[in-house]
Amino acid sequence: MTATEHTNRLIHESSPYLLQHAHNPVDWYPWGPEAFEKAKNENKLVLVSIGYSACHWCHVMEKESFEDAEVAEIMNEKYVCVKVDREEHPEVDMLYMDAIHVLTGRGGWPLNCFTLANGKPIYGGTYFPKEGWINLLVNLNNLFRKEPEKVRELSEEIEKGILSIALLPDAKNDRLGRDFQFLDDFTNKIASSFDKTFGGYNYAPKFPMPNNYEYLLYYAYVLKNTNRAEEGQAIENHVYLTLDKMALGGIQDQVGGGFARYSTDSFWKAPHFEKMLYDNAQLMSLYSNAYKNNPKELYKEVVYGIYKFVSEKLTSPDGAFYCALDADSEGIEGEFYVWKKEELQELLGDGFPLFANYYTINDSDVWENNKYILLRKKADIEFCQEQNISLVDLVSKRKNWLDILNERREKRISPGLDDKTLASWNGLMIKGFTDAYKTFREPLFLDIAINNATFIKNKLFDSDGGLWHGFKNDKGYIEGFLDDYAFVAGAFISLYEATFEESWLNAAKSLSEYTIEYFYDSAKSIFYYTHGKQESIIVRKAEITDNVIPASNSEMAIVLYKLGHLFSNDKYIAMAEGMLLSVKDNMLNYPLGYTNWGILMLHNQVRFCEVAITGKLGFTFRDKINKEYLPNMVILGAEKSSGLELLNERFSADRTLVYVCENKTCQRPFSSTGEAINAIKNLR
């Protein structure tokens, strides 16, 4: 009997990852009480197996074990088996990832955790080869049958470890004060890991980590107006080195735009080929912000390439953004993206030799199975000088090459699409397009951002003022998590700053008020990841550490800090500072995991300002200021009237005015953007 002749209860789910397993011979249950009730009634252990649709090793384990009738028979006889899409249930993933870290000191996906019928973990790991998996299934079941007390003792020890990880300090009543030396120490620890040849950090694999570089750009900006300008320039130069190497490397899809999740090597050549919305959203913001200081055509190409990828591959007809494209197609990782030399020669004819030089098609750079990942090793100007051609000629040739390759590639079998929509990741992508609009003034970018934000308001806002986490089959589902609120609110603030449409700002405030009511713990000065009415198996967790996506708490703190300045609300600012105080003691221990907190600390340590614009040319003034790299401000404005306190009584009948304010106190109004920009820069 083939795997496709089986159908299990996952066939009724909407997650593409769960549907991938709907024809496994394993009797999978989705996450929910039914599986655990069955385990209790039949006195069985539960297997909680967690992954996501674009996960390469998840596919490998499915093929080796979960599609195998012999393995499935053991799993079905001895266990109740639960499949979880980590993107649908990040709270479940957090719990069992903590358990795996307690057990093994490392984690990843697929994540396979065995639990008691109450959901408490007893053992687990990540990928297991078939024979090892069978041995584990048999031996763990035997232990449970013969020594159930020993298994329960294991569970208690793991629970203690999880509780210790989740332990939060009490809120601190003191103030942050001025302590820029702390930020110097924090940044020096980050800089000690720089790879000065290939950018990024001196280890492999390499993840883009956009938030790290957003922090470093901001830190460099602060130093560059002081007697430490050279230090700032050195930090900034490392950011540019990293952005250059990523943009030229195989981690960027040179044909279709957008970035893969990470590079398996130290020089950005060979990625794991899955392409995630959240990476591309943050990289669009990062390259847009970097362009403001360093207007390289390469950075603009990257931003427009992400636009091409997201609009063509990850956007639904109703303006929602999908989650990801798989790493595999035709059962082979990267098959959609790589090329054989003979195919390229056939497609490009006489143009192949120059193409081969440009995209590094040579014997020493072949990847696997005589296939090539397209990448560049030289900037266009250097390449043109070596080849004695003009830049205009190269750009024309490259467009022709890529048109030909795009046409051929679209005839291949495409990687699988994860067509879920997640509020949090959509929020990140709105901000990516909004940041790109501020930099490049491309109307399409703003239209896309507004369209998606409107979709979220219409489809993902619940009637009680909350958010749904996901959207599939024309409905929202799963109670929203803190990151949904934080990233959507942050996106709406950014959208307000690009449009001065106060409905976005008011929506951000409403979402934040909701989180304060249902997620905030004033005794700890921190937000929990889950809604107060959601049940927890062991502990209600708070997400503190920044990773490939900033932590929901660090983002929520920045949202509150900005809203505090935009609405002249001291309570919000005090909450944000209290959250920062609660994590400050951890920041020097692991600085790469606290760079979004570092951005908030920079806001707190520099002269952060509110830029208020009034008058009939306010939108024009806004756009000119938004094109500058000015991370130490929020911007607000209106042409004629506004409900915002900072704009009250600041309108002139015949002039457009810019007020640069600190702590609600404003300098004399400026009537030109140049004067205002200089005033903001002088506040560093």
Sheet with 45-51, strands from edge to edge, namely 28-30, 79-85, 45-51, 111-115, 121-125
Q: What is the pLDDT of residues 472-484, one digit of tens each?
A: 888 899 999 999 9
Q: What is the pLDDT of residues 242-277, one digit of tens each?
A: 999 999 999 999 999 999 999 999 999 999 899 999
φ, ψ for residue 118 (rounded to 5)? -90, 5
- Domain 3-166 fold is Glutaredoxin (3.40.30)
Beta bridge pairs of residue 114 = 47, 123
Residue 609's SS3 state is strand
Sheet with 275-276, strands from edge to edge, namely 275-276, 324-325, 417-418
Other CB atoms within a 10 A radius of the CB of residue 179 amount to: 13
What span, in angstroms and rounded, lies between the C-alpha atoms of 651 and 484?
36
Q: What is the pLDDT of residues 397-406, one digit of tens each?
A: 999 999 999 9
Q: Which amino acid is at 194?
A: F
Q: What is the pLDDT of residues 360-393, one digit of tens each?
A: 999 999 999 999 999 999 999 999 999 999 999 9
Strand 609-614, strand 633-638: pairing: parallel
- Banded model confidence at residue 2, pLDDT cuts 50, 70, 90: very low
Kindly tell me if the per-residue pLDDT of 11 is higher than 60.
yes
Closest C-alpha to 359, from 341, 371, 377: 377
Q: What is the pLDDT of residues 654-679, one digit of tens each?
A: 899 999 999 878 889 999 999 999 99
pTM for the complete prediction? 0.95
Q: What is the pLDDT of residues 439-484, one digit of tens each?
A: 999 999 999 999 999 999 999 999 899 999 999 888 899 999 999 9
List Cβ neighbours of 446 (8 Å cut-off, separation of 6 or more).
433, 434, 437, 498, 499
The mean per-residue pLDDT over the stretch 138-150 comes to: 96
What span, in angstroms and rounded, lies between the C-alpha atoms of 398 and 389?
13
The architecture (CATH level 2) of 609-681 comes to: 3-Layer(aba) Sandwich (3.40)
Closest C-alpha to 312, from 400, 247, 397, 406: 406
Kindly tell me if the per-residue pLDDT of 73 is higher than 90.
yes
CB 95 within 8 A of CB 541: yes
Closest C-alpha to 198, from 258, 122, 271, 249: 249
- CA distances 661 to 86, 225, 565, 636, Å, are 44, 19, 10, 11
What span, in angstroms and rounded, lies between the C-alpha atoms of 674 and 677?
5
Q: What is the pLDDT of residues 326-342, one digit of tens each?
A: 998 888 999 999 999 99
Closest C-alpha to 141, from 160, 122, 162: 122
Q: What is the pLDDT of residues 519-528, one digit of tens each?
A: 999 999 999 9
Looking at the chain, which residues constitute the CATH 3.40.30.10 domain(s)? 3-166
Alpha carbon dihedral 501, 503, 509, 512, in 10-degree steps, equals -110
Q: What is the pLDDT of residues 221-230, one digit of tens each?
A: 999 888 899 9
Residue 337's SS3 state is coil
Q: Which amino acid is at 621?
A: F
Q: What is the pLDDT of residues 566-581, one digit of tens each?
A: 999 999 999 999 999 9
User: What pLDDT score does 306 carry?
Assistant: 98
User: What pLDDT score does 4 carry?
Assistant: 54
The continuous run of DSSP H or E covering 660 comes out as strand 657-662
- CA distances 150 to 142, 154, 641, Å, are 12, 6, 70
